[in-house]
Amino acid sequence: MDRTHHRHVRSRLRPRGRPSEGMERMNDGEGAAGSVVRDLINGAMRFSVLYAFVRVSGPQALADGELTSDEVAKRCQCDPPLMRRMLRALESYRIVSGSSGSRYRLSPAGRLLIPGTVGSLRAGVLLNGSAPWREAAAGLADKLLTGPPTPTGSDDSPYQRIHRDPELAAAFNGYMTTLSTPVSMALAARDHEGVGTVVDLGGGQGMTLAAILRRHPHVRGVLVERPSVAEDATRHLADQGLTDRCEVIAGDMFTTTCPPAQRVILASVLHNWSDDACAAILRQARSALVAGGPAAELWCVEDLLPSSQRGTGRGDFDLDMRMAVMFPQGGERTKDEYQDLLSRAGLRTTAVHPIPDSTRSLMIARMASE
> Minimum Å distance from CB 317 to ligand SAM?
18
> Minimum Å distance from CB 268 to ligand SAM?
4
Binding mask 148-187 for ligand SAM (x = CB under 6 A): ------x--x-x----------------x---x--x----
CB-count exposure of residue 93 (10 Å: 0-12, 13-18, 19+): middle
- 253, 261, 277, 324: which one binds ligand SAM (CB under 6 A): 253
Cβ nearer to ligand SAM, comparing 203 with 331: 203
Only one of the segments 29-37, 196-204, 318-326, 362-370 lies at the binding site for ligand SAM (rule: CB under 6 A); that segment is 196-204
Kindly state the DSSP code that residue 370 receives in the 8-state scheme: -
Cβ nearer to ligand SAM, comparing 69 with 177: 177
Which residues are registered as beta bridge partners of 154? none
> Minimum Å distance from CB 250 to ligand SAM?
9
The number of residues that bind ligand SAM (CB under 6 A) is 19
> Minimum Å distance from CB 112 to ligand SAM?
18
**Are the CB atoms for 46 and 40 separated by under 8 Å?**
no
- 110, 174, 203, 331: which one binds ligand SAM (CB under 6 A): 203
> Minimum Å distance from CB 255 to ligand SAM?
8
DSSP annotation string for 53-73? HHHTTHHHHTTTS-EEHHHHH
Only one of the segments 48-56, 109-117, 221-229, 292-300 lies at the binding site for ligand SAM (rule: CB under 6 A); that segment is 221-229
- 204, 221, 330, 331: which one binds ligand SAM (CB under 6 A): 204
Neighbouring residues of 197: CB distance < 8 A, sequence distance ≥ 6? 219, 220, 221, 222, 259, 260, 261, 262, 263, 292
Please choose, from the candidates 122, 216, 106, the residue with its C-alpha nearest in 3D space to the C-alpha of residue 177: 122
> Minimum Å distance from CB 262 to ligand SAM?
18
User: Other CB atoms closer than 10 Å to residue 50's CB: what's the count?
Assistant: 23
Cβ nearer to ligand SAM, comparing 83 with 303: 303
Active-site residue identified among 192, 216, 236, 271: 271
Alpha carbon distance 235, 230 (integer Å): 9
- 224, 242, 324, 345: which one binds ligand SAM (CB under 6 A): 224
225 scored as a contact of ligand SAM (CB under 6 A): yes
Alpha carbon distance 71, 74 (integer Å): 5
58 scored as a contact of ligand SAM (CB under 6 A): no
- Residue 236 a catalytic site member: no
268 scored as a contact of ligand SAM (CB under 6 A): yes
267 scored as a contact of ligand SAM (CB under 6 A): yes
> In 3-state terms, what secondary structure has residue 306?
coil
User: Other CB atoms closer than 10 Å to residue 177's CB: what's the count?
Assistant: 19
Where are the alpha helices (H) located in the chain, listed in sequence order?
A: 3-13, 21-27, 32-55, 58-61, 69-76, 80-92, 108-111, 122-129, 131-138, 140-146, 158-164, 166-188, 207-215, 227-239, 275-292, 318-326, 335-344
Radius of gyration in angstroms for the set of CA atoms belonging to the chain, rounded to a whole number? 26
Would you name the residues annotated as active-site residues?
Answer: 271
Q: Which residues bind ligand SAM (CB under 6 A)?
A: 154, 157, 159, 176, 180, 183, 202-204, 224-226, 229, 252-254, 267-269
